[in-house]
Structure 1
């Protein structure tokens, strides 16, 4: 082979080209230029949009297993919850059916007993719905104001209840609103009946949001959990309305009376709508007029004197 035809260039392994520092400077300058151009002129925005459009099907395909796993877990959990709710609803329905059967039996028995002793049926209580406007600003009393007054037929002494029981009593009536004193007010009192023992007593407002049963003997038959309802003997509250439950019985040794704490069944906190009842005294028949005293024999009634 002639010597002039030999390739005297170094092999590619020794051919390095530009130095690493030079390449770093060039690529850094290009990167800075592209960032500035993209920020200023949004050069790469179409490129990013195109890549996002191309990669969207791939992302959707990759999300399918995750969505299937998540949906499967939710389906299984919802199925178990639905089965538990169904069992609970069936149990509640069975309980309500039993209660309804007992109520029907008691109503029939009550009707027979009333017919037997010729008692009058219970009085129908007139009522009207009202909305709570605001609570009184007096920190030493518990009162609320409702949007029904004398114009709507509200009278002083009218009971105020909600779905849980007795809230209080109307103590002041204005033309378009009324003031209701709650049972937990320290000046409030209500006659009650223990549904377990049928013993009558009086519940009074106490400090805070509680009631207390006063003037009960230390050995009175009152237990924690007893339900107290209106007795209906005061001529104001209709009988059978829930008032409070006994939460504490303290037979004090230093007094002949026990200290009995109650919690009201109806709470005024958060209540928006109430029911105003007509006092029972307005539906009872009027009292008969007293008969004149008979005149003794041998005497004539003196009608007047003659001049």
Structure 2
């Protein structure tokens, strides 16, 4: 056989491509480039939205057995609880009869005081009910997914509350679902005020202990264990007066000028199933005055009326 007809190329087993180091550097560079592009221009936002829409039916299908077991468990345990609740309700009904009469008198007195002091009624905030689907898969954050999205009118930054208090805030909105960052997440911060003293501050999340922390409070401030903290409404997001947390531990003997205050959240996110999504308070406030209207102490009509009077009073 002539030598020119022989295939001298190496067998596939001995073929070599780029080295392992070259492949590592290439994919590492691509990862850094994609992360930078996503943080600057939101490159992956359409991909996340498309993935959320495509995976939504799969998520609901996979959650069906879990919901079925939870419903069966709730039904069996609810029978026994219903009997106990009936007995307690009968005893509570007797006590509430007297309290309702006192509450009616206090409401009438409060209405008269508001009319005398010309106090404004609190803003009426629109809301919509939602159900918690599951916890977010990110192990470094504390977030949940609810079954309401932009199709149902959920807005970015909407407060999410429970019957016991504030749960968190909507940080990502998809067409049929939304992502809620809990108050115990390290990136969460809520302006609050102390119900007992009126002292204002900011409560931050502490995911390491599933708690919150009241920072930048002077060591000699009037704060006690058990104080209730509510939303102050200064951020234009949360309506004022919603329960947020209570003071659980207070340490004034620190090396800094601020006290170390640990807070216990008003709600336990792990046990919450149904929530209420509120419209941000800032969306209902009137728009700010136009720049042309600022700095005009005299109305144009008043100025026009003042000119003839000034002219008539001048001497010839």
Question: Which of the five TM-score ranges fits, normalised by the shorter chain?
Answer: 0.5 to 0.7
Which residue number corresponds to residue 264 of structure 1? 265
Which residue number corresponds to residue 125 of structure 2? 125
- Alpha-carbon deviation of 1:170? 0.4
Whether the 8 Å contact between 2:168 and 2:182 is mirrored in structure 1 is yes
Task: State yes or no: 1:186 paired with 2:186.
Answer: yes
Say which is worse superposed, 232-241 or 111-120, in terms of deviation: 111-120
Paired residue secondary structure (1:249): strand
Change (3 A) 1:255 1:190: same
Task: State yes or no: 1:199 paired with 2:199.
Answer: yes
Paired residue secondary structure (2:291): coil
Kindly provide the CA deviation profile for residues 230-282 of structure 1, in whole angstroms up to 9, marking residues without a partner as x: 11222111111111111111002411100001110111113211110111111
Q: For residues 88-237 of structure 1, what are the structure 2 equivalents within 5 Å?
A: 92-93=92-93, 95-97=95-97, 99-206=99-206, 207-237=208-238
Whether the 8 Å contact between 2:254 and 2:260 is mirrored in structure 1 is no
Change (3 A) 1:289 1:106: farther
Which residue number corresponds to residue 278 of structure 1? 279
- Alpha-carbon deviation of 1:90? 7.0
Residues in 2 aligned to 1:277 and 1:106: alpha-carbon distance in whole angstroms? 28
Which residue number corresponds to residue 65 of structure 2? none
Change (3 A) 1:116 1:253: same
TM, length-normalised to structure 2: 0.62
Residues in 2 aligned to 1:292 and 1:187: alpha-carbon distance in whole angstroms? 39
Q: Structure 2: where are the runs of 5+ without partners? A: 1-83, 297-316
Change (3 A) 1:137 1:101: same
Residues in 2 aligned to 1:294 and 1:191: alpha-carbon distance in whole angstroms? 32
Paired residue secondary structure (1:111): helix
- Alpha-carbon deviation of 1:168? 0.2
- Alpha-carbon deviation of 1:288? 1.2
- Alpha-carbon deviation of 1:120? 2.6
Residues in 2 aligned to 1:171 and 1:189: alpha-carbon distance in whole angstroms? 13
Residues in 2 aligned to 1:112 and 1:105: alpha-carbon distance in whole angstroms? 11
Residues in 2 aligned to 1:188 and 1:126: alpha-carbon distance in whole angstroms? 23
- Alpha-carbon deviation of 1:109? 3.1
Kindly provide the CA deviation profile for residues 63-88 of structure 1, in whole angstroms up to 9, marking residues without a partner as x: xxxxxxxxxxxxxxxxxxxxx99997
- Structure number with greater Rg is 1
Which residue number corresponds to residue 80 of structure 1? none
- Alpha-carbon deviation of 1:193? 1.5
Counting matched residue pairs gives 212
Whether the 8 Å contact between 2:202 and 2:214 is mirrored in structure 1 is yes
Change (3 A) 1:94 1:247: farther
Kindly provide the CA deviation profile for residues 279-304 of structure 1, in whole angstroms up to 9, marking residues without a partner as x: 11111111111236789xxxxxxxxx
Q: For residues 12-23 of structure 1, what are the structure 2 equivalents within 5 Å?
A: none
Residues in 2 aligned to 1:85 and 1:148: alpha-carbon distance in whole angstroms? 32
Residues in 2 aligned to 1:145 and 1:211: alpha-carbon distance in whole angstroms? 21
Change (3 A) 1:93 1:148: same
- Alpha-carbon deviation of 1:117? 2.8
Residues in 2 aligned to 1:85 and 1:130: alpha-carbon distance in whole angstroms? 26
Residues in 2 aligned to 1:133 and 1:148: alpha-carbon distance in whole angstroms? 10
- Alpha-carbon RMSD: 2.4
